[in-house]
């Protein structure tokens, strides 16, 4: 199984989170991590994990554009999406809002089968290493579900 982790970042937190994903995946499967502007092909990807930080109430334009331009390549693919934002600090209401507004903005552009979503808490100044555990748990669950459904 080959997993492609695709991301964009503004200040580095989403890249760090994508790296945590890569580290977790490489224990179980082949993985490629790519900046959204450096993706050549998705042909050999069994699972595409794509993420964006949230700025000004929306995912980055580069990620939205990528999803729109790669519709044909994403058809029939298994896809998981994640966003990095501060909504989690507002509890259940914040997560519900983020799921609808931020994750929803990505999902509606994905023609493939969505097998998972995640809202990961970002940070302003220093990395929040407690989120590494959240990422590892999500990836573990995602891969487990992928094995069961395959």
| pTM summary value | 0.94
Beta bridge partners of 72: none
Do 106 and 82 contact (CB within 8 A), yes or no?
no
pLDDT, one tens digit per residue, over 53-74 is 999 999 999 999 999 999 999 9
Question: DSSP states of 72-124 as a string?
Answer: HHHTT-EEEEEEEESGGGGHHHHHHHHIIIIIHHHHTT--SEEEEEEEEE--S
CATH superfamily of 2-149: Flavodoxin domain (3.40.50.360)
State the DSSP code for 49: E
Point out the least confidently predicted range of 14-28, 48-62, 90-104. 90-104
């Amino acid at each position: 199984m080959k997993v492609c982790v695709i991301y964009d970042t503004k200040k580095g937190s989403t890249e760090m989170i994508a790296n945590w994903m890569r580290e977790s995946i490489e224990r179980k499967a082949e993985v490629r991590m790519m900046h959204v502007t450096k993706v050549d092909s998705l042909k050999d990807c069994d699972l595409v994990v794509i993420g964006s930080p949230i700025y000004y109430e929306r995912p980055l334009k580069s990620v939205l554009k990528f999803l729109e331009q790669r519709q044909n390549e994403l058809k029939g693919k298994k896809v998981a999406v994640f966003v990095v934002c501060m909504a989690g600090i507002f509890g259940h209401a914040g997560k519900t809002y983020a799921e609808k507004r931020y994750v929803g903005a990505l999902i509606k552009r994905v023609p493939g089968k969505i097998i998972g979503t995640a809202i990961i808490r970002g940070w302003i100044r220093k990395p929040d290493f407690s989120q590494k555990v959240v990422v590892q748990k999500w990836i573990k669950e995602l891969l487990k579900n992928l094995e069961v459904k395959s």
